[in-house]
Amino acid sequence: MGHRTVPFHDFREFLDALRSHGELIDVDRPVALELEVAKALRKSASTAGPAVVFTDNGTGFPLVGGVYNSRAKALIAFGCDEDAAYDKIITGLGNRIPPTYVTEAPVHQNVVLGDDVDLAMLPVPRYSPDDGGPYITSGFVVSHDPETGIPDIGHYRCEIVDRKTMSMMAAPGHRFAKNMAKAQRLGHTTFRGALVVGVDPMIAYACPIQTTDDTDDWEVVGGLRGEGVELVKCVTNDVAVPAHAEVVVEFEVDFTETVSEGPLGEYTGYYTPASAKPVVRPTAITHRDGAYFQALLTGRPTTENHILKLLPFEASFTHQMRQQFPTIERVSIPPSGGVFFRVVIAMRPRYAGEARSAILAAMGSNMRPKTVIVVDPDVDVHNSEEVEWALAFRTQPARDVIIVGDLPGGALDPTADESLPPDQRTGSALGIDATYPYGTVVKTVGDVCGPALAEHGKEFVEVADVPGWRDYDFPELDGK
């Protein structure tokens, strides 16, 4: 796939690119928002199928889903191959570009205010049978730190309670939750933000990137895009949103009133129970002419929710960890762990105990994984069989396993003590050092991995393999 020299400027350009690659189809028959959309999206994703536009969904907006449900679509978004996409994220984090601001924007072509605001106008699906209501899972929230004004963007679930009421869930360690908590500490009874749906894919991929709380996320977006994103101020608050977004729901969080939010079939594959959350009221709905709304399937791995997070999480986590451990070569944060709870790191330790240090650093990160495995670089971290091979033949549990308790609990962990408030829940983590003991020389056929034998003069281990098998021309197999 050739490199795209300019970023997509909006969601529609990305949809056009998907269609040109055979990755987007139209469904013109009536499709119900109540579970039928979810069934169609899961069916397509199960075969790495195309994204789908549901043109007849009972509203005035076409609904498109599955645009981030495969690695192939991610590479179309990045306009490059997988290795280049990984490097593009890391490079963008180091070369941030500030946004530009405009006063007129396509997202303000239609402005709905006051009593005319009606959430029922939006095609919001119900994804799992026992969900508490329809959920906007595709939108990202823009909020500002109430003291510093630094903007944050991130994906947070939004339940439609009724035509005039929403509610949202944000884990305590996430910046949107921190911004709201700070506003409450400052004595505010309300907090304003915006929910954005349908954007240039680099904005969507920037949302899950792990950054520090003092990061202007729009600068990260600019780094990924290679040019600053255009922003426009909201109609009813001072939050700035992408000028070319399809739909924006401006909102106000009311800390004085709560509503039951949930359950939702979450990224863990389990329902999160209903709980009281602040009421969120829309103050405006703005949208482009002919706007697309977006569905994003969530639930038991692997869904579009996981695929969207995968590249950004792996790349940004690698970038953070390499600051301390520069010999880390590759990281996998697989969907089987919800793209949170399981981390596999390939690194070349520079001294005895460094792999353990990397395990402890990963446990202490905002990712909050429950399992961290470190392997040698000859193991493909994305291949579960190779990782299991390393666990079987390069570890002694009494020597190589670490268990740490009383750590901050991971977001929405179904094994956590749900009788406690989210910010009081703790958990434990398992670390496994599956690297050869430092100083061991590992030889594969035709290649020597690890430090030179003469340098350390310790144990020598030979790994048997068949050279050249990956490149062997096997047309009979290819034709199956």
List the domain range (segments joined by +) for residue 359. Answer: 324-438
Q: Both 72 and 200 in a single domain? A: yes
Show pLDDT as tens, one digit a residue, over the chain (480 residues).
Answer: 455 667 899 999 999 999 999 999 999 999 999 989 988 888 888 777 889 999 999 999 999 999 998 888 988 998 887 778 888 888 888 899 999 999 999 999 999 999 999 999 999 999 888 888 999 999 999 999 999 999 999 999 999 999 999 999 988 888 999 999 999 999 999 999 999 999 999 999 888 887 888 999 999 999 999 999 999 999 999 999 999 999 999 999 999 999 999 888 887 777 888 899 999 999 999 999 999 999 998 878 777 778 887 888 888 888 889 999 999 999 998 878 777 789 999 999 999 999 999 999 999 887 889 999 999 999 999 899 999 999 998 999 999 999 999 888 777 777 777 778 777 888 899 999 999 888 776 665 444 444 433 333 445 555 565 556 667 675 655 554
**Which of residues 280, 295, 310 is at a domain's end?**
295
Q: Both 288 and 389 in a single domain? A: no
In a domain, 451, yes or no: no
Q: How many domains does the chain have?
A: 2
Q: Both 276 and 361 in a single domain? A: no
**Distance between CA atoms of 269 and 190, rounded to whole angstroms?**
33
Q: Both 268 and 331 in a single domain? A: no
Predicted TM-score of the model (pTM): 0.80
Q: Both 46 and 195 in a single domain? A: yes
In a domain, 433, yes or no: yes
In a domain, 100, yes or no: yes
In a domain, 124, yes or no: yes
In a domain, 317, yes or no: no
Q: Both 170 and 48 in a single domain? A: yes
pLDDT for res 91: 87
In a domain, 464, yes or no: no
Q: Both 359 and 246 in a single domain? A: no
Q: Both 265 and 336 in a single domain? A: no
Q: Which amino acid is at 16?
A: D
**Which of residues 251, 278, 295 is at a domain's end?**
295
Query: Which CATH number covers residue 330?
Result: 3.40.1670.10
Q: Both 329 and 212 in a single domain? A: no
Q: Both 405 and 285 in a single domain? A: no
**Which of residues 295, 312, 346 is at a domain's end?**
295
Q: Both 55 and 159 in a single domain? A: yes
Q: Both 267 and 354 in a single domain? A: no
In a domain, 448, yes or no: no
In a domain, 30, yes or no: yes
pLDDT for res 464: 60
